[in-house]
Amino acid sequence: MGKILGTVLVLLSMVSAALAERFDVLAEPRENFDAAARDIVAHLEKRLNITFATVPLTDFERLGDRGVSNDGLYASSQARPLLISVQYAFCDVSSLFDTGLYPEKKPQCNRTRLRRLIAHETGHHKVALVVREHAPHGWLKTLAEEKYRLSSLSEQLAVNMISEGTAMYLEYALEEVRPEPWSDESLSVTLGRVALTAPNVLQQYYTIGGYSVIKPVLDVSVEKGLACNATNPLEIPMMSEGLDISAALVYRKRMLDCVRQ
């Protein structure tokens, strides 16, 4: 009797798995977005003279449940690390490859927005690949791990300036958009404790600030620049007045020397 019951349970489990796969409404969108990611990676490899050891697979999540306000997230430890907000799952994916807008019922799902979103998260994937190859136990190791484990605000700012700056660089390169980076004067500042608590201030320094620091280095060579970043820590000291952002300018000069060797 026990053997029969065991057999029945196994069969029920197999049927349940088969039904779940059969009625997985996100299966086709995943395949479509995977194809878009491959297309985008191919464009970036050709445009920037870089290589990707792997192309990140995509999945869909309610990112708000993770406390994420953005439409995309890179989760390095997952089998499908490129997470896209589930609201985009049923867009007309043909627009990822052709010109035109998605159906009017989802006007936010436009071609440029989604391609840049995928390119941005693919930039995080490229950083993780470089870190695993050149410095898996180095200062950027958190970018290739399941969760960020950053001990201080200084470390948080430094790591995210490299990660987000690179992601912005690849995002802009895809559509051949080159926004004006911040001037050196804008980076020669100390972020006071009041500014650090203001909404979006740190995010601006992660993204545009990071892009402004890393762009001249990656313009010389993306592959060599990322390898230099992975093996040379950026240290942004916390002074009595706040975080000394000007340290990033000194770091950029060191990285330019590194990439030109």
pLDDT, tens only, 203-221? 899 999 999 999 999 999 9
pLDDT of residue 202: 85
pLDDT of residue 150: 62
- Give me the residue spans of the domains in the chain: 27-259
One of 3.40.50, 1.10.260, 3.30.1660, 1.10.390 is the CATH number of 27-259, namely 1.10.390
pLDDT of residue 101: 39
Give the H/E segment covering residue 83. strand 82-85
| In contact, 171 and 115? CB cutoff 8 Å | no
The dihedral through the CA atoms of 16, 18, 19, 24 has a sign that is positive
pLDDT of residue 66: 73
More confident residue, 220 or 156: 220
Query: What is the spatial distance between Cα 27 and Cα 44, in angstroms, rounded to a whole number?
Result: 26
User: Is the confidence at residue 194, as pLDDT, over 50?
Assistant: yes
For 180, which DSSP code? P
pLDDT digits (tens, 9 = 90+) for 97-145: 544 433 444 434 677 888 889 999 999 999 999 999 999 999 998 887 7
pLDDT of residue 200: 84
Query: What is the spatial distance between Cα 18 and Cα 197, in angstroms, rounded to a whole number?
Result: 50
Closest CA to 26 of 98, 89, 95: 89
pLDDT of residue 32: 85
pLDDT of residue 106: 44
pLDDT of residue 260: 96
Closest CA to 219 of 166, 157, 182, 140: 166
